[in-house]
Amino acid sequence: MSKKDKKKRKEVPKDPSQRAIMNLYPKRKSLRKSLAPTYYPVDHHIYYDGNSFRVRVRLDGKTITLNTPDKNKAIKFRDRLLKKAGRV
């Protein structure tokens, strides 16, 4: 196997706010391929589908979900929900 055949893995910073998520995961090419988007885990309770970030947190038996194109907004929303639940 030559060096060209091996894929280079990008180093991912441990701090999620420092990650360039859009460079790490591919964008969705079309919605025709699948109706259900593929979400890649970014951090606890935060997922990325190529266009937006999704936050899903379960509080008191209810799942709270937020979709946003802004990574920092997603992290702040998740932190606020976890702090409210007393998990931080």
Q: Where are the domains of the chain?
A: 38-88
pLDDT digits (tens, 9 = 90+) for 28-87: 666 555 666 788 899 999 999 888 999 999 988 899 999 999 999 999 999 999 998 887
Six-digit token string for 49: 């589908």
pLDDT band at 19 (very low <50, low <70, confident <90, very high): low
The rounded distance, in Å, linking the Cα atoms of 60 and 40 is 25
* pLDDT for position 39: 87
pTM: predicted TM-score of the whole model, two decimal places: 0.59
The rounded distance, in Å, linking the Cα atoms of 57 and 85 is 10
pLDDT band at 21 (very low <50, low <70, confident <90, very high): low
